[in-house]
Amino acid sequence: MPGKERVNIKPGLKVNIVQKQHQRTGVLTEGIVKDLLTNSPYHPHGIKVRLEDGVVGRVKEILD
């Protein structure tokens, strides 16, 4: 899965993320990546990012 590997995610990329409070429901939030918050090259639940509007969550989809 591309959203689980850090090398696939760069600032400026359009993505869908799931916020911590929406992990059970799976509600996705769309936005542009500002910062990568996960330092490891892989995370099983998705790389954690901060979007340009300040929302933090784990990448579920890369939108292009």
Domains of the chain: 2-62 (2.30.30)
Neighbours of 22 (CB within 10 A): 13
CB contact at 8 A, 3 and 13 = no
DSSP 41: S
Q: Which whole number is the average pLDDT over 47-62?
A: 98
Residue 54 has pLDDT above 90, yes or no: yes
Q: Please say if the pLDDT value at position 1 is more than 80.
A: no
For 14, the enclosing helix (H) or strand (E) is: strand 14-18
User: Each residue of 5-46: pLDDT tens digit?
Assistant: 999 999 999 999 999 999 999 999 999 999 999 999 999 999
Identify whether the C-beta of residue 36 lies closer than 8 Å to the C-beta of residue 49.
Answer: yes
Per-residue confidence (pLDDT) for residue 38, from 0 to 100? 97
> Is residue 64 over pLDDT 90?
no
pTM above 0.85, yes or no: yes
